[in-house]
Structure 1
Amino acid sequence: MSNEKGFNVREVMGALTLVVVATGIGVGSYRTGLGIAGPHGAQMSPALAAAPVNGSQLFAASCAGCHGAQAGGGIGPALAATRPWSTAEFASAVLHGKAPASRELSVVMPRFAETGLNGEPVTDEQLQAIRAFVAAP
């Protein structure tokens, strides 16, 4: 061991090189992010697309309490009779409580056009998913 105090030239140059390289990488990365994405920084996008609508889950959450877990009936009627209905007829029943031939459904049947599903307006995709679940054998 020597009695030298301080750092030798090699140690100082190594530390300075490390600081310069790290600073260059940081500044370069920051500027690249700005240059690619424009003035607002990097743009983020979801890693996964939205999950497809699940008719059985929607039915279980909004319909099964009255129509039974498999649409076989309960407080409300079995829904097998809806299988031959057109998409418009099914939508009218679910959204407005109007069955084919302008038959008014029970007041117990929610008018989902007013209440929505899970507090959100009903989408065509949700209606189609519920109809597909109900129509399944």
Structure 2
Amino acid sequence: MSGDGFSRGEITAIVGFVALAAVIGIGSYRAGVNVAHETGGGAIVTAAAGDTTVNGQTLYASSCGGCHGAQAQGGVGPSLAESAAWSGPDFNAAVLHGQAPGGRVLAPVMPRFAETGLNGEEATPERIEAIHTYVKGLQ
């Protein structure tokens, strides 16, 4: 075959890799959702404006645990031990925009929760703070 395209074997390998990545991603997401349903309790942070409470453990399990592990130990995504020590604004920037301290851009597979929301709802400062508080409590 000429050097102008991919061989049939290369295309098969690429398709296989993409399928495997999709299966791992979906499985990790479902594992996080299952943890959220199994663990109803956890760090509860009272929202600043009103009576509502935000459950950091449930939010973490449904939005983060599938990739970062049930105890933030890492999995598809890295361990969150380092990010537990980040300031609130640094943690917010990472969660909302994929921007780590020092200007480092997080991997493209890290959702930009400012766009996607958390657990189907807006990624408010109170919700992100609840997740950060929960992650800090795991360390």
Q: What is the TM-score when the length of structure 1 is the normalising length?
A: 0.62
Inter-partner Cα distance in structure 1 for 2:62 and 2:84: 20
Amino acid at match of 2:63: S
Over the aligned positions, Cα root-mean-square deviation in angstroms equals 1.3
Q: Which residue of 2 aligns with 1:114?
A: 115
Inter-partner Cα distance in structure 2 for 1:120 and 1:133: 18
Alpha-carbon distance, 1:124 to partner: 1.0
> Structure 1, unaligned stretches of length 5 or more?
1-48
Matches for 1:41-60 after TM superposition, within 5 Å:
51-60=52-61
Matches for 1:75-86 after TM superposition, within 5 Å:
75-86=76-87
Inter-partner Cα distance in structure 1 for 2:82 and 2:58: 21
Asked if the contact 2:59/2:119 (under 8 Å) is kept, the reply is no
User: Aligned pairs, how many?
Assistant: 89
Inter-partner Cα distance in structure 1 for 2:110 and 2:82: 16
Q: Return structure 1 stretches of 4+ with deviation > 4 angstroms.
A: none
Inter-partner Cα distance in structure 2 for 1:64 and 1:94: 13
Alpha-carbon distance, 1:51 to partner: 4.5
With a CA cutoff of 8 Å and minimum separation of 6, indicate the structure with the bigger relative contact order: 2
- Aligned identity (percent) is 56
Q: Secondary structure at the match of 1:117?
A: coil
Q: Which residue of 1 aligns with 2:46?
A: none
Q: Which residue of 2 aligns with 1:68?
A: 69
Name the larger-Rg structure.
1
